[in-house]
């Protein structure tokens, strides 16, 4: 072989070796950096500067709670997400994030609920241009106590290669007009495969609010698995949630569990083929004393209700985009649902619509 040919082969070998070494180093970095947040973590309660409500929650008095997944500020109606078959892995721009989070928070300011659960709130993520969404969201909400449970703290993910998702720090915010005496973060079981790097460090927070009769209103703020889950993961997460809720029911507390369940609240339980993030919610897995609040509506009311999320494989097109209801509330039998609706925002600020419930404690 001529010298020139040997030099070319040598050069190509060096390049290939460098690529393999770089890939191996990156893979080692991701695997070494990966960690799960410890279970049973006490969460700090942030108090409002001005308290708009004083005292315990009252019996036989109507209150309102809303759950809203704000989709890390990325999902304007024309946004599509790579893991749903769309294009983007990051928000279009920092301005877009600010506009979406501000729009979502002003929508909640106008609704003025007593309690509010907000999922996919980024604190410091590449995908949302490092906007502190919790701070931005809270600027339009006065008089609320708040807890925050981190459920995504990932190393830099260099995927997709054309627009890496990057590193993420994100979680679930819970707001209450009434004093939160304590809050606990519970780590849910998740996939153990590679998909765990792209799915979140799933969790729920357990927030305790005093009731006038000496019991507690216990509000679970939850976001169950979407990507890479399986029958075992789904059943494990619901089983853990069921056990914690049952323990509260047993001592006579009032239980509300709200959030993004990534289970279809409207679908028949016999359906076996569905999107991995939209399998039917199996009522028998909820345990005694807990039921889905939506079930207290008539079939006609449920059918007429707008869905709470859209698939983001294509920009939102009413009547064409796949939509489903995965957001909602579970309640104990001593909580009376008065009114229940999906708030139709036209997916203006997120790939989710808020879900609202009015209720009272018996």
Does residue 159 contact residue 167 with C-beta atoms inside 8 Å? no
Q: Provide the strand spans (E) within the chain.
A: 41-42, 63-69, 115-122, 145-157, 166-176, 182-187, 203-210, 216-223, 254-260, 263-264, 279-280, 290-292, 309-310, 323-324, 327-332, 335-342, 355-361
For residues 226, 322, 259, 286, the Cα torsion angle rounded to the nearest 10 degrees is -80
Does residue 238 contact residue 83 with C-beta atoms inside 8 Å? no
Confidence of residue 21 (pLDDT cuts 50, 70, 90): low
For a pLDDT cut of 90, what percent of the chain falls above it?
70
Query: Residue 215 pLDDT more than 90?
Result: yes
Question: What would the mean pLDDT of 155-178 be, rounded to a whole number?
Answer: 90
The β-bridge relationship of strands 263-264 and 279-280 is parallel
Cα-based distances in Å from 126 to 69, 216, 273, 284, 305 = 19, 39, 34, 40, 35
Cα-based distances in Å from 24 to 156, 167, 263 = 15, 19, 37
Per-residue pLDDT tens over the stretch 217-233: 999 999 998 866 678 88
- Which residue would you say has higher pLDDT here, 273 or 176? 176
d(CA 219, CA 242): 13
Name the pTM for this structure. 0.91
pLDDT of residue 29: 43
> Nearest to residue 335, comparing CAs of 361, 307, 354, 298?
361
pLDDT of residue 335: 98
pLDDT of residue 273: 72
SS3 category, 196: helix
d(CA 109, CA 138): 10
Does residue 331 contact residue 255 with C-beta atoms inside 8 Å? yes
Per-residue pLDDT tens over the stretch 28-87: 545 555 567 889 999 999 999 888 887 899 999 999 999 999 999 999 999 999 989 999
Does residue 286 contact residue 242 with C-beta atoms inside 8 Å? yes
Question: What would the mean pLDDT of 160-172 be, rounded to a whole number?
Answer: 90
């Amino acid at each position: 072989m001529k010298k020139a040919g040997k030099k070319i082969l040598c050069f190509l070998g060096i390049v290939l070796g460098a690529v393999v070494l770089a890939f191996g180093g990156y893979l080692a970095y991701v695997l070494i950096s990966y960690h799960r947040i410890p279970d049973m973590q006490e969460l700090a309660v942030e108090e409002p500067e001005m308290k708009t409500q004083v005292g315990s929650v009252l019996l036989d008095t109507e209150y309102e709670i809303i759950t809203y997944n704000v989709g890390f500020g990325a999902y304007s109606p024309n946004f599509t997400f790579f893991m749903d078959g769309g294009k983007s892995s990051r928000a279009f721009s920092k301005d877009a994030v600010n506009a979406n989070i501000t729009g979502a928070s002003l929508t909640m300011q106008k609704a003025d609920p007593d309690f509010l659960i907000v999922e996919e709130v980024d604190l410091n993520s590449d995908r949302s241009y490092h906007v502190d969404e919790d701070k931005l969201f809270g600027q339009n909400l006065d008089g609320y106590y708040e807890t925050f449970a981190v459920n995504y703290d990932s190393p830099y993910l260099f995927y997709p290669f054309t627009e890496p998702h990057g590193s993420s720090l994100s979680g679930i915010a819970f707001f209450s007009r009434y004093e939160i005496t304590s809050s606990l973060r519970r780590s849910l079981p998740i996939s153990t495969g590679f998909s765990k790097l792209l799915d979140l460090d799933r969790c729920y927070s357990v927030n305790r609010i005093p009731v006038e009769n000496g019991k507690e209103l216990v509000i679970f703020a939850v976001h169950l698995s979407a990507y890479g889950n399986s029958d075992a993961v789904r059943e494990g997460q619901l089983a853990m949630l069921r056990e914690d809720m049952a323990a509260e029911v047993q001592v006579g507390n009032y239980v509300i569990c709200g959030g993004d369940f990534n289970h279809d609240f409207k679908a028949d339980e016999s359906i076996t083929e569905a999107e991995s993030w939209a399998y039917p919610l199996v009522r028998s897995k909820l345990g005694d004393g807990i039921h889905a609040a939506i079930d207290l509506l008539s079939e006609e009311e449920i059918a007429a209700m707008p869905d709470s999320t859209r698939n983001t494989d294509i920009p939102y097109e009413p009547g064409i985009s796949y939509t489903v209801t995965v957001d909602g509330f579970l309640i104990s039998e001593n909580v009376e649902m008065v009114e229940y609706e999906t708030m139709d925002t036209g997916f203006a600020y997120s790939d989710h619509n808020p879900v609202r419930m009015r209720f009272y404690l018996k």
